[in-house]
Amino acid sequence: MGSVTGFYVKRCAALAMLMAAIAGLCLTGAAMPAVSSKLKVTTCCCYRYRDKYNKAVIAMPEIVNMTDVEGVRTVNKAIKAYAKELWELFEEGMAEPEQGSGMPSGFRSFTAGWKVTADNEAWFTLKITTLQIAASGQTFYKFYNINKKSGEYVELGGLFKPGSDYIGIISEEIKRQMMERMEAEEGAVYWIAGEKAFKEIGEDQNYYFDSQGRLVIVFDEHEVAPGSMGTPEFAIQKNLIKDIIAI
C-alpha cells in the first residue's frame, strides 16, 4: 500500500507542476500567440477616377481573418483612414485647364497599391506604395507591422524601451551609412548638409524587418536624397540597438 500511495502522491505532484507550467505559459502568452496562422488579405476599398486630365486608382487592402485580434482591427481601421487621406491628396492636386487657354496645366496620375512583404512567425507586414505623376514622379510608402506574438500593431517607437534614445542612435547610424555610400558608390548623393540636410528619423518612420531579422528604415523619394536615389533603405545592425529594443 505504501508504495502505491507514494506513486499516487508523486503522480499528483507531477500533474500539479505540469498544470502550473501550462497556466504560466498561458498567462505570459508564450504558448498561445495572438496570431498563430497566416493572415488573409484582400482589396477592400478602391477609389477610381478618370477624366481628360486626371486618373486615379487607389486600391487598399483589408485583413479578413482573425479580426478579433487588436492589431488586425487597428490596421484595418488605419488603412481606411489612409485611403481617404490619399484620395483627398489626389483631389487637391488634380490638373485643371488654365484660364483662357482651355488646356490643362498638366496630366495628373495617382496610383496606390499594396503587397504583403512578411507573414512569418514573428511579423506580418503590409506595404502600401503610392506613385503620383504630374510634371515629375514621386513614390512614397506606408508600412503596417503587426507583432504576431502579441497581436499588436507596432509603430517604430513601440519597438523600443521607454525613454531610450532610439531616434538619436538610429539617425546617427543612417548618417554614417550615407557618408559611407557616397564615398563608395559613384553618383550616390544624400542630403547631409545644407537646408535639406537629414537631421533625424521621425517617431513613426517607415520600417520593416528583413530576412536576417534586421530593422530596416525606409525613406520616401525626395525625403533624404534626390529623386535619382529612389527610395533609400538603411539596415540597422542588431548589436547597435540590442540594449534598447523591447521586442
Separation of alpha carbons 234 and 133, rounded Å? 26
The residues pairing with 211 across neighbouring beta strands, listed in sequence order, are none
Domains of the chain: 33-154 (3.30.565.40), 159-247 (3.90.640.20)
Residues of the chain whose pLDDT is less than 50? 1-32
Give me the pLDDT at residue 244, please: 97
Shortest CA distance to 93 belongs to which of 133, 59, 152, 63? 133
Collapsed DSSP state (helix, strand, coil) of residue 102: coil
Residue 146, C-alpha cell as written in the block: 503587426
**Cα 244 vs. chain centroid, distance in angstroms?**
19
Q: Is the sign of the CA dihedral 218, 221, 224, 226 positive or negative?
A: positive
Which pLDDT score, from 0 to 100, does residue 216 have? 98
Q: What pLDDT score was predicted for residue 98?
A: 63
CA–CA distance, 72 with 35 (Å, rounded to integer): 9
